[in-house]
Amino acid sequence: MDNRRLIKLATLAGQIILESGGEIYRVEDTITMILKSYDVKDAESFVTPTGIMVSLTDNKGDVISLIHRVSKSTVDLEKVALVNSLSRRIMDTALPLDELEKELNEISAKEPYSIPFQLLMAAMCGFSFTVLFGGSFVDALIALVIGICVRLLQLGTREIKLNGIFINIMGGALVAVLVTLMTSLVPLETDTDVIIIGSIMLLVPGIAFTNAIRDTLMGDYLSGVSKGMEAFLIAVGIAIGAGSALAVMGGI
Amino acid sequence: MVLRLIMAYMASLSFAYIFNLNRKTALMSAIGGSIGWYFYSQGLLYFQDSNVAYFLGAVFLSYYGEIMARQTKTPVTSYITPALIPLVPGSGLYNTMLQSLEGNYNGALREGITTLMASGSLAIGILVVFTLIKIYYLIKRRISHETN
């Protein structure tokens, strides 16, 4: 049994979950579950939202450890689910390392939905939230267009790895500017507030919020607080962006 | 009401797809969005208090999420996160910003605290269900352990 390779693969599994927006305790559990399914004496892992530390004690008492820094952060709950079920399967019957590596690479290389489909979903998101919050059909149609623009901004800035708070300031500003412009262009009666609220829903920190709650529940206060802070700062970023743009556009 | 429920379903569904869930899980998890919204609006109707309403919504949607996650052996997050989105107090956030922009800091503070309370109610709702379900499975396991 090649323990060095095993620890690398277990860390890769953890890394996929961490980068795809899984909870911190799930990353820790997955890594130790994978390691302990194989022939080792002891395994421990300590994960923060930005790094993974794993250590493994083999049967002769030698210790191997590995530190991995994680900076990328996307949302891909499907990958979390896939790695999760893989680690459960390994717990029942330990897979050979070659096979484990192949499966992990397959999961890691999985493509998200195509961009047109994502844009369609963003359009649906803006539309349905505006109707949900009491907007008229015209309001919802405006939010539909804005939803597409916001998603394009999110996809574009993901490539150049901008700071998350800054993206949300830009997103909030984009929503406010577009809403002010489009409501002045459309001759029908529209409700600016509802359109803005419906459109910024696409930016709200849903995943950070849920993970903050769930990590805190699992007793991982360090990650809980840092995820909660992330959710709070994103919300503040949206408000700053939308607020400053509204002030500049004079659309209050 | 029915229109709102459909809209809540569509909103959750769009988020489920943006979070890249597979088709089947996305379709199932979005039902949680409607459930959450239904109990939220009913709570608002009967108790006239938004915090109680948010709490109720969170309780029922996370109950649905926990059950479904166990049935399908998928992480609970996949079910709870998309379902929670329609209840996220986006309007509170917007109103806080609007009030402070107008220089009305009392109003901003009031709206801000209301938004934080709403988030807190959602969190407590999820917490209660999570803990109760954990206790339930613990007891169930212990009982089946003793009878064996």
With contacts defined as CB-CB under 8 Å, which chain B residues touch A117?
17
Q: What is the pLDDT of residues B73-116, one digit of tens each?
A: 888 888 999 999 989 888 888 888 888 888 889 999 999 999 99
What is the mean pLDDT of the segment spanning A189-204?
A: 87
Interface check A222 vs B, CB under 8 A: no
Give backbone dihedrals phi and psi of B101, rounded to 5 degrees, phi first.
Answer: -70, -35
Q: Which pLDDT does position B110 carry in this prediction?
A: 92
With contacts defined as CB-CB under 8 Å, which chain B residues touch A210?
77, 80-81, 84, 126
CB contact under 8 Å between A121 and B14, yes or no, is yes
The residue of chain A with its CA nearest to that of B38 is A132
CB contact under 8 Å between B75 and A77, yes or no, is yes
Interface confidence, given as ipTM, is: 0.87
How sure is the predictor about A18, in pLDDT bands with cuts at 50, 70 and 90? very high
With contacts defined as CB-CB under 8 Å, which chain B residues touch A88?
73
With contacts defined as CB-CB under 8 Å, which chain B residues touch A26?
75
Interface check A225 vs B, CB under 8 A: no
Q: Which of A85, A214, A243 sits opposite B77 (nearest CB)?
A: A214
CB contact under 8 Å between B20 and A78, yes or no, is yes
Q: What is the pLDDT of residues A33-42, one digit of tens each?
A: 999 888 888 9
Interface of A with B in 86-115 (CB under 8 A): 88, 112-113
All structural domains of chain A with their residue ranges: 3-108, 115-249
* d(CA A106, nearest CA chain B) in Å: 16
CB contact under 8 Å between B19 and A80, yes or no, is no
Q: What is the pLDDT of residues A118-160, one digit of tens each?
A: 999 999 999 999 998 888 888 888 999 999 999 999 888 877 7
Residue A55, strand partner residues: A44, A65
